[in-house]
Amino acid sequence: MADTILTDASRATGMVKITPRARRVAKEKGLDVKTLNILGTGYQGGISEKDILNYLASNKVRVSPIARRIAKEQGIEIDGITGSGVHGKIMKRDLVSIPVETDTVEAVAATVQTDAQYSPDGKEILEVIPYSGVRRIIGERLSQSKFTSPHLYFTQKVNLEKLLDLRKQINEAQDKKTSVTDYIARACVITLQKYPDMNSTLAGEQIIKYKTINLGIAVAAPSGLIVPVVKNAGKKSLLEISKDSGVLIDKAREGKLSPDEYSGGTFTVSNLGMFGIENFTAIINPPEAGILAVSATKDEPFVETDENGNKTITIKPMMNITLSVDHRIIDGLLAAQVVTEIKRLLENPIELLI
């Protein structure tokens, strides 16, 4: 009967025992069961559908998508080719030595540049970058900070109208230009002098409160995020902080910082305002107790109240600042006082020149 397992006598004439379903799958996959050594596990040693599928899985030819396309366009049989890729995968380079018509090669070469790499689930890979060096150090430190230090966040909205006017006057009077970050840095220094508990670290069983203020300025460098440190910032004026931080930031972007220039910080400022970021929270740079995230300055409606209590709506340059603190060291009241004092100083920038 045509739809039953073939008999032993059939094998003598070049036939094998195989179920109808297995025969159909083999035909669909282009397999000639007469010439292939497929072990049958079905009734009387017959080949079942499962045997066909197992054979396909164990003898699957691994081919990169580009190599498969070249083989199809050039009519190359890939079954007998030994691949040079991972796990014997056939790559484009494995086909270049196979003689084909010149015009076909040129046509394919015009559209194919390199073999693409794919993830196990089929996504094309653009680049594989080792997770090492500075990137790994940054990742490990920030992971330690985020999962060891309970972060608490406090945000204030700052009116920068007076500060921007003052900055314009100062920059017009000298060659060296000051940045908004310089004023924010100076405001942080004055605030840390007023609230020294914020200028502290947790070391084992001790909270160490520092008199020296070493202010870190987060910078995006080619090797990754790095925080050059303005040492003894508490003893420096606005213009001195501006000069020192400018030198450090340039060196950071050129990859020329020495280890001493990016270590020993007691508080950090991270400013993403130049990228138009309206609000964000920063991860504390361990072992420091806090970090200030500075967002972009945007024109926004602002309610002003005159001396008679009359309210008017005007447009002012506004900026969000968010203080992240390590709640193991800093309580909510102190954090609120610190971020509010920074806001007050930025809105009364003349105090930053003292």
Q: Which residues are catalytic?
A: 327
Residues ≥6 apart with Cβ < 8 Å to 253: 219, 221, 222
CA 316 to chain centre: 34
Say how far apart CA 97 and CA 243 lie, in whole Å: 62
Q: What is the Rg, in whole angstroms, of the alpha carbon atoms belonging to the chain?
A: 35
Helices and strands in the chain: count of H runs, count of E runs: 10, 12
Enter the tokens of residue 35.
Answer: 């010439």
Residues ≥6 apart with Cβ < 8 Å to 228: 216, 217, 219, 245, 248, 249, 251, 252, 257, 261, 262
Task: Give the three-state DSSP class for 43.
Answer: helix
Provide the 10 A C-beta neighbour count for residue 316.
Answer: 18
Provide the 10 A C-beta neighbour count for residue 8.
Answer: 10
In the chain, the largest separation of any two C-alpha atoms, in whole Å, equals 113
Q: Tell me if 164 sits within 8 A of 317, measured CB to CB.
A: yes
Nearest to 298 by CA among 161, 182, 166, 183: 161
Say how far apart CA 322 and CA 268 lie, in whole Å: 12
Say how far apart CA 350 and CA 163 lie, in whole Å: 8
Residues ≥6 apart with Cβ < 8 Å to 49: 19, 21, 22, 25
